């Protein structure tokens, strides 16, 4: 019996292979994105948006709640919201996470830096698409 179980586990491991490794890293990316969005000093998102899992008292209401954005927008559109938010509203107060100009009230330590790296943007988009 023990041997049968051991064989089954081995078989499953063989079948799983790279596919399982990929889904592991996808899960990690989503978790990283969630952490960035909920962090008040990294993504800044929670300063303006209600974020699922973050208490209302610790989140903003300048922008729409992020719950459901994965159903409202495609991954590509969500990336555009992050990188070029003015495409959706020319007068938006939402800062681009990828640019450095036009920031107001940034702490001196953050001057001259984009809010997020490309890897962080990928993680945030991966997380946002899960908010259906």
105, with CB counted inside 10 A (0-12, 13-18, 19+), is exposed
Stretch that binds ligand HEC, among 3-11, 16-24, 43-51, 98-106 (CB under 6 A): 43-51
- Decide: is 47 part of the binding site for ligand HEC (CB under 6 A): yes
Which listed residue (50, 59, 81, 129) binds ligand HEC by CB under 6 A? 81
- Decide: is 40 part of the binding site for ligand HEC (CB under 6 A): no
Stretch that binds ligand HEC, among 9-17, 24-32, 88-96, 106-114 (CB under 6 A): 88-96
Nearest Cα neighbor of 110 from 43, 47, 51 is 43
Q: Which own/partner contact pairs does 53-56 have at CB distance under 8 Å and 24+ positions apart?
A: none
- Decide: is 110 part of the binding site for ligand HEC (CB under 6 A): no
- Decide: is 79 part of the binding site for ligand HEC (CB under 6 A): no
Cα within 13 Å of Cα(22), Cβ side: 4
Token pair of 48 as six digits: 């303006």
Which listed residue (56, 75, 88, 112) binds ligand HEC by CB under 6 A? 88
């Amino acid at each position: 019996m023990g041997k049968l179980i051991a064989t089954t586990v081995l078989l499953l491991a063989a079948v799983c292979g790279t596919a399982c490794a990929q889904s592991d890293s996808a899960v990690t990316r989503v978790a990283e994105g969630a952490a960035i969005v909920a962090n008040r000093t990294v993504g800044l998102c929670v300063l303006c948006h209600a974020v699922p899992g973050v208490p209302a008292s610790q989140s903003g209401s300048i922008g729409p709640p992020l719950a459901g954005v994965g159903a409202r927008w495609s991954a590509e559109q969500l990336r555009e919201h992050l990188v070029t938010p003015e495409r959706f509203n020319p007068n938006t107060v939402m800062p681009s996470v990828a640019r450095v100009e036009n920031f107001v009230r940034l702490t001196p330590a953050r001057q001259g830096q984009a809010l997020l790296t490309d890897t962080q943007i990928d993680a945030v988009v991966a997380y946002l698409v899960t908010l259906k």
